[in-house]
């Protein structure tokens, strides 16, 4: 049975939600599920904005059929060719053979790579700011290359001032009946997942996101319809501000994340003591993570949120404790910049973790590594409390 949501008189959400998938892109845990959004506009011409992941195929086709009510489908706009939005494009083309595919030039070869249907005969290839009239509505298109695939574009309904933003402004989390962000407590219940989605999936491409934000700032926007998560019609500027912060690699908050990699618990002990010492100095909302037990996507997201990062690691086979090394490499790959970093190392015979962590972090842009590194040899000694105090002082000072 169909499950559609009316957005406007002639605009409907026809997507689906998946709460079964454990790992989005086979990489990111999604305990709250995920939604794949698609939208149908029932103007003089009918338009489908993107399709959905294979997982919600049945729901999607029932939804599209219900909204079309027997009318033909005239256009499918392909804003993004990643399979979570185009896995059902082939089936759409089979079921609606008269539908024309609206996309940009970079999309065509990718469609050909994924599919065998004849795209050339049915494509309407659009360029930057070109328009397409569907009757009452006029659509225009803006290219958003590398947000986060090369062919990405966004579509703007000039009539109703609605931005179909592709993956931008998307989030992990299945929709729970409420379609609009103003119907949920987004900041409390969704922001962490939105940040984890953005930073892990798009985070590497900050400059491309900035370019898109600049283009979008020239538009009057009454609603943002992303490909995942709630639709925005109120307080859009608040969410745009988050994107401005994340994409410019500025910390969202003056806050500390401490991540430790510990085999027997001594590095963990030092990390806990440091956290207490920071709290004694008035630092609030300190976040401590065990790198072995926390998914990297959570710590990537937290690194984008926090101004100060502490990495505490045991030495492991002449290297950094492996899960810590993986995290640091991942942070570098995600282009993380502009953070103040403190290091704590541990080892029993040849302590190398600090030096090696520093090498990775120095490969990232504009990272301020505090000079007060603490070295633990097997276990923390009373005589080292002063060193931890000095480190806590330096961190607290850098946050002023």
Ligand X SMILES: Cc1cc2nc3c(=O)[nH]c(=O)nc-3n(C[C@H](O)[C@H](O)[C@H](O)COP(=O)(O)O)c2cc1C
Binding site for Fe ion (CB under 5 A): 82, 84, 167, 227
Taking the CB of residue 118, how many other CB atoms lie within 10 A of it?
10
Nearest partner of 85 among 233, 201, 191, 256, judged by Cα: 201
Taking the CB of residue 211, how many other CB atoms lie within 10 A of it?
18
263 contact choice in ligand X, Fe ion, none (CB below 5 to 8 Å, kind-dependent): ligand X
Q: Which stretch binds ligand X (CB under 6 A): 87-95, 210-218, 245-253, 312-320?
A: 312-320
Task: Report DSSP state, residue 231.
Answer: B
Among 203, 229, 347, 354, binds ligand X (CB under 6 A): 347
Are 292 and 275 in contact by the 8 Å Cβ rule? The answer is no
Does 317 interact with ligand X (rule: CB under 6 A)? Answer: yes
Nearer to ligand X, 297 or 346 (CB): 346
Does 349 interact with ligand X (rule: CB under 6 A)? Answer: yes
| Subset of 373-392 contacting ligand X (CB under 6 A) | 378
Can you read off the two tokens belonging to residue 2?
């169909």
Collapse the DSSP code of 364 into the 3-class scheme (helix H, G, I; strand E, B; otherwise coil) and give the result: coil
For residue 210, what are the CA distances in angstroms to 98, 194, 213, 219, 249? 37, 17, 5, 15, 11
Taking the CB of residue 253, how many other CB atoms lie within 10 A of it?
12
What whole-number distance in Å separates Cα of residue 92 and Cα of residue 345? 56
Q: Which residue is nearest to Fe ion (CB)?
A: 82
Facing residues of 143 across strands?
153
Nearer to ligand X, 21 or 263 (CB): 263
Are 18 and 56 in contact by the 8 Å Cβ rule? The answer is yes
Can you read off the two tokens belonging to residue 294?
């926390």
Nearer to ligand X, 152 or 360 (CB): 360
Nearest partner of 165 among 86, 240, 57, 113, judged by Cα: 240
Q: How many residues bind ligand X (CB under 6 A)?
A: 19
214 contact choice in ligand X, Fe ion, none (CB below 5 to 8 Å, kind-dependent): none
| Subset of 253-282 contacting ligand X (CB under 6 A) | 262-268
Q: Which residues contact 96 (CB under 8 A, 6 or more apart)?
A: 72, 73, 76
Among 72, 109, 318, 363, binds ligand X (CB under 6 A): 318
Does 16 interact with ligand X (rule: CB under 6 A)? Answer: no
84 contact choice in Fe ion, ligand X, none (CB below 5 to 8 Å, kind-dependent): Fe ion
What whole-number distance in Å separates Cα of residue 160 and Cα of residue 227? 18
Nearer to Fe ion, 18 or 84 (CB): 84
For residue 391, what are the CA distances in angstroms to 11, 114, 261, 349, 394? 56, 53, 18, 23, 5
Rounded to the nearest angstrom, the gap between the alpha carbon of residue 379 and the centroid of all alpha carbons in its chain is 38
Among 351, 370, 390, 399, binds ligand X (CB under 6 A): 351
Taking the CB of residue 243, how many other CB atoms lie within 10 A of it?
20
Nearer to ligand X, 97 or 318 (CB): 318
Nearest distance, CB of residue 285 and ligand X, angstroms: 25
Nearest distance, CB of residue 359 and ligand X, angstroms: 16
Nearest distance, CB of residue 334 and ligand X, angstroms: 26
Does 323 interact with ligand X (rule: CB under 6 A)? Answer: no
Nearer to ligand X, 158 or 273 (CB): 273
Q: Which stretch binds ligand X (CB under 6 A): 67-75, 77-85, 180-188, 344-352?
A: 344-352
Does 350 interact with ligand X (rule: CB under 6 A)? Answer: yes
Nearest distance, CB of residue 356 and ligand X, angstroms: 10
Does 316 interact with ligand X (rule: CB under 6 A)? Answer: yes
Nearest distance, CB of residue 315 and ligand X, angstroms: 4
Binding residues for ligand X, per CB under 6 A?
262-268, 314-318, 346-351, 378
């Amino acid at each position: 049975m169909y499950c559609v949501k009316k957005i406007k008189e002639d605009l409907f959400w026809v997507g689906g939600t998946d709460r079964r998938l454990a790992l989005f892109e086979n990489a990111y845990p999604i305990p709250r599920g995920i939604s794949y959004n698609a939208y149908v506009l029932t103007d003089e011409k009918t338009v489908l904005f993107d399709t959905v992941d294979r997982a919600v195929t049945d729901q999607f086709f029932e939804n599209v059929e219900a909204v079309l009510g027997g009318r033909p489908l005239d256009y499918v706009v392909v804003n993004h060719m990643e399979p979570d939005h185009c896995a059902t494009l082939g089936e759409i083309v089979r079921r609606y053979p008269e539908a024309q595919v609206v996309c940009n030039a970079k999309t065509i070869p990718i469609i050909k790579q994924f599919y065998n249907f004849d795209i050339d005969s049915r494509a309407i290839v659009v360029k930057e700011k070109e328009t397409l009239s569907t009757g009452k509505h006029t659509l225009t298109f803006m290219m958003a290359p590398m947000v986060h695939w090369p062919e990405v574009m966004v579509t703007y309904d000039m009539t109703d001032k609605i931005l179909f933003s592709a993956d931008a402004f998307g989030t992990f989390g299945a929709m729970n009946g409420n379609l609009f962000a103003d119907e949920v407590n987004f900041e409390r219940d969704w922001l962490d997942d939105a940040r984890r989605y953005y930073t892990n999936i798009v985070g590497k491409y900050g400059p491309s996101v900035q370019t898109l934000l600049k283009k979008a700032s020239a538009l009057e926007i009454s609603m943002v319809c992303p490909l995942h998560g709630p639709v925005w019609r109120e307080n859009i500027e608040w969410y745009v501000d988050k994107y401005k912060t994340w994409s410019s690699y500025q910390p969202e908050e003056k806050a500390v994340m401490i991540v430790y990699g510990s085999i027997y618990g001594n590095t963990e002990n030092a990390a806990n003591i440091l956290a207490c010492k920071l709290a004694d100095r008035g630092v609030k909302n300190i976040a401590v993570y065990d790198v072995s037990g926390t998914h990297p996507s959570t710590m990537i997201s937290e690194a984008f949120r926090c101004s100060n990062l502490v990495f505490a690691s045991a030495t492991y086979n002449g290297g950094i404790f492996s899960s810590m090394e993986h995290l640091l490499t991942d942070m570098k790959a995600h282009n993380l910049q502009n953070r103040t970093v403190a290091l704590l190392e541990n080892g029993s015979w040849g302590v190398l973790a600090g030096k090696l962590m520093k090498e990775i972090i120095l490969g990232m842009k504009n990272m301020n590594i505090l000079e007060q590194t603490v070295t633990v040899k097997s276990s923390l000694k009373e005589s080292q409390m002063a060193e931890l105090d000095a480190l806590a002082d330096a961190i607290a000072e850098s946050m002023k």
